[in-house]
Chains A and B, each alone.
Chain A
Amino acid sequence: MSVLLEVQGVTKTFGGVVANQSVSIEVRAGEIAGLIGPNGSGKTTLFNSIVGAHAIDEGSIKFEGEEISTFRVPVIARKGMLRTFQQTRIYGEMTALENMRISAPEARVSALSLLGGFSSKTDTRGEELLEFVGLASKRFLRAGALSFGQQKLLEFAMALMSEPKLLLLDEPTAGINPTLINGLIDRLKQANKELGVTLLVIEHNMRVIMNLAERITCLAHGEVLASGTPDEVRNDPRVVDAYLGAG
């Protein structure tokens, strides 16, 4: 499998706080990669660095072989790498279907290309994906009126709508009803397999990430502690220490 995202020696500090210290990870095309670590270990900072939300101090980030560490968020998004937010973000005053419409790939070509109307193809695709995440019956409701879990599903559907190559998910199951989590895991796997979207997932729920990811990287104190298959990481004594605070 070819390497889709290659992060090499990335360091990011905020004042005196070292959020990421020489972090290297790679995500291969077509896989589901996991990123775990205790609170404050630098996972979201790494996400922000990758998608261009802030500049990095050192290191290199390559997407499809191209150096992207100096690009800003919208440029990177247009190259096919999207992220969802830990604090779910949707367009609250618009309907669920409108949220889908504006997330279609043609919406990001240029400002003038937006002057066209909506193709029925876009609407059909939007409805299919809402169906896929189980929100079809809510497509005409105001997105802000949906429950938190439903907004999270909508955000996921919007991300899929824009047909990314790589999707970075920041805690997709946080705040979701435990009975719905299994359904969400299935959908993430399905999106990966059937839609060919490579996933990099931050997750706190160990059961979820062990089920989902093919390879996991564990961060602690801003550094990579361990990486490997779920079993290797789970049995690594350093990872256990980091989580349980022993040693």
Chain B
Amino acid sequence: MTSVQKYGLMGFGLVVSLGAPFLAPQFATQLTMLWLMVVFALTWDVLGGQMGYNSFGNILFFGIGAYACAIIQRDLGFDYFVGLAVGLGIAGVFSALVAVVLGVGMLGLRGHYFAIGTLGLGIAAGEIAGGWDYVGAGSGMVPPLYPTGLEGREFFFYFAMFALAVITFAALRALYQTRFGLALNAIRDDEDKAEAMGLHTTQIKSVAWAVAAVFLGVAGGLTGNLLGFIDPRDIAFAGATFGVWMVLMAVLGGKGTLWGPVIGAVVFHVTQELFWTYLLGWQRVALGLLIIAIVVFFPNGILGTLRERFPEWFGERMEERS
């Protein structure tokens, strides 16, 4: 693909994304959720794809963000938009801090042990939030109402989530182009070698997790406000849905690639919505079959499979050059 084609395609995508809620206002909330899925897949891929650490606990940062933002909005008495902005900022920062603290212990685990260890995180957090009165315990939290009622609300959250997805994408793209991106790949390919070469692997892993956590935290704050209700187990720390989907979307699109998670998120979300619409009652079965099909037929994901077939599209070189 030439760069003209590439930017043309990106420009087209941008126009469609900006126009979508006006063209199909009845789907505005679903489209907002689509961008949330993109953020999920992109942030999961930082560790899961680029660094080779399969985390099943990233939902933790999303939930922490949702609660942190709602608490700020509830307790600090700001005007709605000021409260939301401050809340989102604190949600991101606080999630990142939790990632750094947890990282010290968790990121010493490798391979399957890390995956299993993180699996417990989301579940534990859901149980804690569900029993803690300060955050509404089992009956959840209701963030403040959008000031103008329903008017303009969907558009506001659509564009806020879209902006978050674009910023996440741009930030990760920039990050992967630095030496840091190579260090992540080095840890993925051979962590012992990276250590033997003197890389600060523990620091690198913690920073990477914190980067994912920032965007997940902000996404959590936005989602709480979008949905208007934060349930501890079904929304904030929804490991069985959001938590699994973020892994699936990244794997479906092609983990360890920049665009793979984006493509995976779009394909997954659209397919899932179609299942819910046309296969109601069987939607979970269909989703399960889709997951099996992904793993069996596209273990490297959509982009990974394309990359195997057409490596030259991805700038990979097969021939020697002098």
Interface residues of A (CB under 8 A from B): 51, 73-74, 77-78, 82-83, 85, 89-95, 98, 101-103, 106-108, 110-112, 114-118, 136-142, 158, 162
Count of inter-chain pairs, beta carbons less than 8 A? 108
Other 14 A-B pairs with CB < 8 A, given A78-B198, A89-B190, A91-B186:
A77-B198, A83-B196, A89-B196, A91-B185, A91-B190, A94-B189, A102-B185, A102-B194, A114-B178, A114-B180, A116-B179, A137-B320, A137-B321, A138-B320
Q: Which residue of A lies closest to B52 (CB)?
A: A93
List 18 A-B residue pairs with CB atoms under 8 Å apart, sorted by A's residue number.
Answer: A73-B196, A74-B195, A74-B201, A82-B198, A93-B185, A95-B317, A101-B179, A106-B179, A108-B198, A111-B183, A112-B207, A115-B175, A115-B179, A117-B177, A118-B179, A137-B321, A138-B320, A162-B197
Q: In the complex, what's the smallest C-beta–C-beta distance from B179 to chain A, in angstroms?
A: 4
- Interface presence of B203 (CB below 8 A): yes
The size bracket of the interface on B is: 20 to 34
B178/A51 in contact, CB under 8 A? no
B318/A141 in contact, CB under 8 A? yes
Q: In the complex, what's the smallest C-beta–C-beta distance from A83 to chain B, in angstroms?
A: 6
A94/B182 in contact, CB under 8 A? yes
Q: In the complex, what's the smallest C-beta–C-beta distance from A136 to chain B, in angstroms?
A: 7
Indicate which residue in A114, A141, A142 contacts B183 across the interface (CB closer than 8 Å).
A114
A90/B190 in contact, CB under 8 A? yes
- Interface presence of B200 (CB below 8 A): yes
Q: In the complex, what's the smallest C-beta–C-beta distance from B254 to chain A, in angstroms?
A: 13
B196/A117 in contact, CB under 8 A? no
Q: Mark B294-322, 1 if CB is under 8 A from A, else 0.
A: 00000000000000000000001110111
Task: Give Cα A108 to B185, complex, Å.
Answer: 15
- Interface presence of B153 (CB below 8 A): no
A140/B190 in contact, CB under 8 A? no
Given contacts A111-B203, A137-B321, contact A77 B195 (CB under 8 A): yes
Indicate which residue in B189, B196, B198, B207 contacts A111 across the interface (CB closer than 8 Å).
B207
Contacts of A94 in B (CB 8 A): 182, 185-186, 189
The 5 closest A-B pairs by CB, nearest first: A77-B198, A111-B203, A91-B189, A108-B198, A114-B180
- Interface presence of B204 (CB below 8 A): yes
Contacts of A141 in B (CB 8 A): 317-318, 320
Task: Give Cα A83 to B200, complex, Å.
Answer: 17
Q: Which residue of A lies closest to B200 (CB)?
A: A111
A102/B182 in contact, CB under 8 A? yes
Q: Mark B189-226, 1 if CB is under 8 A from A, else 0.
A: 11011111111110110110000000000000000000
Task: Give Cα A136 to B317, complex, Å.
Answer: 14
Contacts of B206 in A (CB 8 A): 111
Contacts of B320 in A (CB 8 A): 137-138, 141
Task: Give Cα A92 to B318, complex, Å.
Answer: 15
Given contacts A51-B196, A73-B196, A91-B190, contact A140 B321 (CB under 8 A): yes
Contacts of B321 in A (CB 8 A): 137, 139-140
